[in-house]
A and B are shown apart, each in its own frame.
Chain A
Amino acid sequence: MSDIPPAIELVGISKAFGPVQANKDISIRVMPGTIHGIIGENGAGKSTLMSILYGFYKADAGEIFIAGQKTQIPDSQAAIAAGIGMVFQHFKLVQNFSVLENVVLGAEDGALLRPSLAKARKQLKSLAEEYELHVDPDAIIEDLGVGMQQRVEILKALYRHADILILDEPTGVLTPPEADQLFRILGRLKAEGKTIILITHKLREIMDITDTVSVMRRGEMDSTVKTSETNPADLAERMVGRKVLLRVDKTPAKPKDVVLEVRDLNITDAKGVHRLKGVSFNVRAGEILGIAGVSGNGQSELLEVLGGYEKATGEILLNGVPLDLTGAHSDGQSRRARGIAHVPEDRQHEGLIMDFSAWENTAFGYHHDPDYQINALLMDNAAILRDAQEKMDRFDVRPADPLLSAKNFSGGNQQKIVVAREIERDPDLLLVGQPTRGVDIGAIEFIHQQIVALRDAGKAILLVSVELDEIMGLSDRIAVMFDGKIMGERLPENTNEKELGLLMAGVTDGESA
């Protein structure tokens, strides 16, 4: 084997964004015909490294060898010419173009479109047969599901004769069945001799599909090992640099009275799309109800109604008293006054004001609190600041500096600020949307512990997450949403990922047989 040069060899790659050293002296070898995983926490520098390989960023130092040849990759054009294709986490597709136009863009054969499109149509057909990548070439991208859009991205790379395919967090937006299908396709590409680099933070995927795995931590390469010679706990420890609990440690729930009761909730948006279709469920004090589902199936709207900033029809009772759903008498403020705390899904837009300091952010939504006022006109900033400092210390926010802008904290620490603000107010009901999206493993552990602690204090918790592991680990009951409806409720001990995955894809028991 030693006489075959590696498909890719990076030597001493360094890259800084201002004062932030995203990549520090990174070296890595990827053998041809293998699936190589790169794993690390958010901000560990995985995506930066791959963007350098794809010519999206220029490295400050270091060398790139493709198939043993030293190669300069100043831009994406050069990367494509070197046989590298990349599927970004956020797809780089033109939404209102057809599949064909997207595939051809940048790889046209001449100044006129017609011959290029005709050739691409023929090529797509043979690629579809070779790799089971069937997509309607005339479909418009925005009409396609994310799984299909991802296929288009893979086809784009293959159409440009990529031998090396980089996928950045490819399963983040997929249902489990879609992810399985993607892995089958990747297996097939590998069998055809393609080299695949898979960037992910999901340990299970690494264990399932890769041949070798490199672990990155804080911009540095920790180690590269054979997947068969490692295990998830070992990888997690390498990623974080200390031992972590992969399972949520919790005792069985002791549910009490019903706190939240939702009856026949319906939402039709401005475009006339029916977003919620008769959603009913309840949450008891002292339990966590997890809502699983692929994003965009009505979970966001559900949280928005409960949080008081979306209109709906139907009925929501909190401790037996109805909430206003017309939007006329409700907003986040009035909901908080009723004892509903909300950790929103999109913390950077809904949970925080990124340009404001941490101490200001810890008061938002509760800034009318009498503790924060000097008199009817003036706010007591000193009190808020003291309070913020206390919360930040207790929630181990790093750096624990309340004067720093929210945008200067890492994702995990931003989320800790939001969670601290919402939990510390002793709510009856906590709404939590995607609590650990973009949060590193160490902080995930902490946030999960806080949520469980709140449950044990006898509060009702509604958890919405697209991460099945999180739903399975944290929930006392699981409801699955698909297309604005609750497909069913399960107990975590009586179900498995496969069953939930099918429900998330809209397949009910009758059809799955």
Chain B
Amino acid sequence: MDFFTIVQLGDASVRMAIPLLLACLAGLFSERAGIFDIGLEGKMLAAAFVSAAVSYTSGSVWVGLLAGIGISVVLAIIHGIASITFKGNQLISGVAINFFAAGLTVVIAQGWFAQGGRTPSLPQDARFNGLDFPGALSRMRDKMQASPGMQFYSEFVSGHSILVYLGLLAVPLSWWILYRTRFGLRLRAVGEAPEAVDTAGISVVRLRFSAVIICGILCGIAGAYLSTAVQAGFTKDMTANRGFIALAALIFAKWRPWYALGACLLFGLFFAIDIRFSNIQLQIIWIMVLLLGCAAALTIYAVRREKIDVIVLGGLSAVLAAVAFTAWFATASADGISIFAALWETVKVPSQLIQSLPYLFVVIVLAGFVGKAIPPRAGGQPYVKER
């Protein structure tokens, strides 16, 4: 692997991390205020569709972005009305928004553009294009021959759309809001002890609605990024469960902005590996070492835990081990060689395995493999004054 490949991998990681990061920060604001939001996915998807459709129709990507944010905020307010005003179940409201967005985007897209539930491909000026920094090389051939520093500058630093830089900027901004402002103090307090906020004479309802609206704005940007910057148009289910991965990243990040950046970059790396190395070749022995190593680590961890984790993690390691041995023996029998000789055979790693990496990691994160994460104490509970 040469240096330029690593730079390209890093570049792709950042690009793939941005929608996760925006959604993760969206979830962070909402959950820190005590409102669980499983509807990040639905809000992103609705925003992806609306911004692509409006960009295409109006010809301006900025109008599209605003429209995407708009629909996402509307859905966020619906979630707020259900869970704050009417004290409903936050999970159910979130799930409803996901179903609503998954179905309606395709139906409206079909009715509007009649292209099988997708929007037409967006022309160049109705998209967010990469910003070329001064002095950055743009042609691939020039980049490959440039010095490592120039490669890093041209490929990794320069060339992203403005939303990428905005997303990265959102991290320190979120941190500053949460930990350095009055609003942030109150927001964190309302997710931990709404009764403390209420008795201090501050409106719990208003605070939680502000948090939910911020969540809507960030989800809107994330969705618009997918359909107007990563791709040129909306396709069915294009968010591909990123809203849920963002929730896993949020737990991994222990509800903190800087950790969220790290978690999302890690998930971004998995997606980038999928893009760049979809047909990676490895010797069987390395596949065995990797898979059995993971299985062993999971098992060792699982035995120290409660029953349910033993079942989940134990099952996962059994699957990994089964995949490893199947690959080994299948190679041996296919090539008609001894199983020991087969260890040194080089095979193509199935792309499905690579694709499943981020999702596999989600399971591991949620099984508590990364240490104990303590959610906001009042999370998920509507605030009712006690009698």
Binding site for B on A (CB under 8 A): 17, 54-57, 75-80, 86, 88, 90, 92-97, 101-102, 104-108, 110-114, 116, 156
Contacts and interface: CB of A to CB of B under 8 A. Distances in A.
Contacts of B196: 92-94, 102, 105
Contacts of A156: 200
Given A111-B183, A113-B185, A88 B193 contact: no
B199 interface: yes
B185 A93 contact: no
A491 B44 CA distance: 69
A112 B195 contact: no
Nearest to A51: B385
Q: Is the interface of B mostly helix, strand, loop or mixed?
A: helix
A56 B199 contact: yes
Interface string B175-200: 00001111111101100110111111
5 contacts: A55-B201, A90-B195, A92-B200, A101-B185, A116-B182
A17 B185 contact: no
B197 A112 contact: no
B192 A105 contact: no
Interface of B: 179-186, 188-189, 192-193, 195-202, 377, 385-387
A57 to B, nearest CB: 7
A92 B193 contact: yes
7 pairs of A and B residues whose beta carbons are closest in the complex: A106-B200, A77-B201, A76-B201, A92-B196, A108-B182, A92-B199, A94-B193
A83 to B, nearest CB: 13
B312 to A, nearest CB: 18
Given A92-B195, A106-B202, 4 more contacts: A80-B200, A88-B199, A106-B186, A113-B179
Given A105-B186, A106-B186, A110-B182, A95 B192 contact: yes
B254 to A, nearest CB: 12
Contact of A105 (B179, B181, B185, B386): B185
Chain A CB within 10 Å, residue with most, of B179, B181, B184: B181
Contacts, number: 78
Nearest to B190: A94
A92 B189 CA distance: 11
Contacts of A104: 185
Contact of B193 (A95, A107, A111, A114): A95
Contacts of A101: 185, 189
Contacts of B181: 111-113
Contacts of A80: 200-201
B182 A86 contact: no
A93 B180 contact: no
A76 B200 contact: yes
Nearest to B372: A271
A95 B192 CA distance: 7
A21 to B, nearest CB: 14
Chain A CB within 10 Å, residue with most, of B188, B201, B202: B201
A80 B340 CA distance: 79
A113 B200 contact: no
B199 A108 contact: no
Given A92-B193, A94-B189, A111 B200 contact: no
A110 B184 CA distance: 12
A110 B180 CA distance: 11
Nearest to B306: A270
Given A17-B387, A94-B189, A107 B200 contact: yes
Chain A CB within 10 Å, residue with most, of B179, B180, B199, B202: B199
Contacts of A90: 195, 386
Nearest to B189: A94
A96 B197 contact: no
A505 to B, nearest CB: 28
Given A57-B385, A113-B181, A113-B182, A93 B193 contact: yes
B307 to A, nearest CB: 13
B282 to A, nearest CB: 41
Contacts of A112: 180-182
Contacts of B199: 54, 56, 76, 86, 88, 92
Nearest to B199: A92
A55 B201 CA distance: 9
Chain B CB within 10 Å, residue with most, of A86, A94, A111, A112: A94
B141 to A, nearest CB: 51
Contacts of B186: 105-106
A416 B325 CA distance: 64
Contacts of A116: 182
A97 B189 contact: yes
Nearest to A101: B185
Nearest to A96: B192
Contacts of B179: 113
Contacts of B385: 56-57
Contacts of B184: 113
Given A108-B185, A112-B180, A113-B181, A75 B192 contact: no
A105 B192 CA distance: 13
A71 B192 CA distance: 32
A92 B196 CA distance: 4
B277 to A, nearest CB: 42
B198 A76 contact: yes
Nearest to A87: B199
B314 to A, nearest CB: 20
Contacts of B195: 90, 92
Contacts of A107: 200
B192 A111 contact: no
Given A57-B385, A76-B198, A80-B201, A105 B189 contact: yes
A77 B202 CA distance: 7
A136 B192 CA distance: 21
